[in-house]
Amino acid sequence: MIQVQNVSKQYRNTDNEIALDNISISFNEGFIHGIIGISGAGKSTLIRLINRLETYDSGDIQVFEYTNLRRLNKESTRMLRKRIGMIFQSDHLLARKTVIENILLPITFHRKPTPEDYDYAESLLKEVGLTEYSNRYPSQLSGGQRQRVGIARALINKPELILCDEPTSALDVITTGQILQLIKNLAKKHHLNVIIVTHDMHVIKEICDTVTVMEKGHIVESGTLDDILFKAKHPQTRIFIREIGLDLSNIIQSHDPNQLLLLKFDESVVEQSIIAKMINELHIDTSIVYANVTPNKKGIMVLQVPSQQESVIHFLRDHKVVVEHVI
């Protein structure tokens, strides 16, 4: 759906700072993609290239059937943007317009809203849980409610793709969770492709299917959420993973790695108290050094097994547990 090939961009300011350095990445249809990095990593610039809010110096970008985005004329740019909804860090609503007027705003740049448009706007308002609020002004809403309006507004043109630039950075933890859940549900319902830019690993683990880690204008690591969480190699990625308490490397370092086994299992296994059964049957000595539930609702556990590792592995595999050596 989106192909970014060898794209570079330099800011034309006094420092001529490099924003993106030879970036190549593709975004496939049907997923929620996360791009994470600290500020200045180039992640915001990268998504702004997709709807052409920013241009690039070299390389090629293809979005939908539009190729070579840099050469797109004004009219095609507008048509492209119409197919891409954008959600911003703060709501960026128009303070002097009501909620319903804000939601309909994107339509007004192309035509006069019809009664059907009003109905659709009302139905979106219902989907984001703000049915009663259509004639309120943004100042009468909370931060989370305003972001909901921003989400409804991003959907009014029936886009195929939604770009989210730090959509929850201005919100508290609980509201963040609600907003992310809403984005996830709407993406499913409206068959949307979503790209989220964030500096918060919690956002990534909450809703993303694939993850791209950026640092100083480069992509340092990219993969599925599980790949990134459990096979991260880059130090920057490790820092992010530590933030959500899933960094295994510390635990591994403080034990003899030869004695450690990594277990992955799904919910059906959780209810069977396998570890207790195993200790009873095999009469072995083992201890659990780490256990957690991944964002995909999979169980993950690290066992220290000093002896009889082969029989442990055999037993666990018989019980549908994926077992790996940590090294």
Partner 1 sequence: MLFDLEISVYLKALWETAYMTIASTVFVFLLGLIWGALLYATDQDGLWEHPQLHKIISILTSALRSIPFLILIVLLIPFTRILVGTILGPTAALPALIVGATPFYARIVEIALHETGSDLKETGLSFGATKLQVLLRIIIPESLPALIRGITVTAIAIAGYTSIAGAIGAGGLGNLAYLYGYARNRIFVTIASTVLIALFILFLQIIGDLFVRKTTPK
Query: Which residues bind to partner 1, rule: CB under 8 A?
Result: 51, 53, 74, 77-79, 81-82, 84, 86, 88, 90, 92, 94-96, 105-106, 108-110, 137, 139-140, 157, 163
Q: Minimal distance in Å, beta carbon 164 to partner 1?
A: 12
| Nearest-approach distance from CB 200 to partner 1, in angstroms | 21
Nearer residue to partner 1 within complex by CB, 92 or 255 = 92
Q: Shortest approach of partner 1 to residue 106 CB, angstroms?
A: 4
Q: Least separation, in Å, of the C-beta of 92 and partner 1? A: 4
- Our CB check for partner 1 shows the closer of 105 and 313 to be 105
CA angle 49/104/112 to nearest 5° reads 105
Q: What's the burial of 285, exposed, middle or buried (CB within 10 Å: 0-12/13-18/19+)?
A: exposed
3-class secondary-structure state, position 62: strand
The answer to whether residues 38 and 15 touch, using CB atoms and an 8 Å cutoff, is no
Alpha carbons 149 and 95: distance in angstroms, whole number: 12
Task: Count the Cβ atoms, other than its own, within 10 Å of residue 230.
Answer: 17
- Compute the distance between CA of residue 307 and CA of residue 189 in angstroms, rounded to an integer: 50
Specify the DSSP class assigned to residue 272.
Answer: T
Closer by beta carbon to partner 1, 163 or else 197: 163
> Between 105 and 252, whose beta carbon lies closer to partner 1?
105
Residue whose CB is less far from partner 1, 66 or 137: 137
Distance CA 128, CA 56 (A): 35
Nearest-approach distance from CB 85 to partner 1, in angstroms: 8
Angle between helix axes 143-155 and 115-127 (nearest 10 degrees) is: 140
CB of 48 to partner 1, least distance (A): 8
What is the smallest separation between the CB atom of 296 and partner 1, expressed in angstroms?
31
Report the residue number, 17 or 324, with the smaller CB distance to partner 1: 17
Measured from the CB atom, the residue of 80 and 301 that comes closer to partner 1 is 80
H helices present in the chain, as ranges = 43-50, 74-82, 99-108, 115-127, 143-155, 173-189, 201-207, 225-231, 235-243, 249-253, 267-270, 274-282, 309-318
Pull the structure tokens for residue 321: 């547990």
Beta carbons within 8 Å of 151's beta carbon, 6+ residues apart: 87, 128, 179, 182, 183, 186
CB of residue 44 to partner 1, shortest distance in Å: 10
Nearer to partner 1, 110 or 317 (CB): 110
Q: How far apart are CA 108 and CA 114, in angstroms?
A: 10
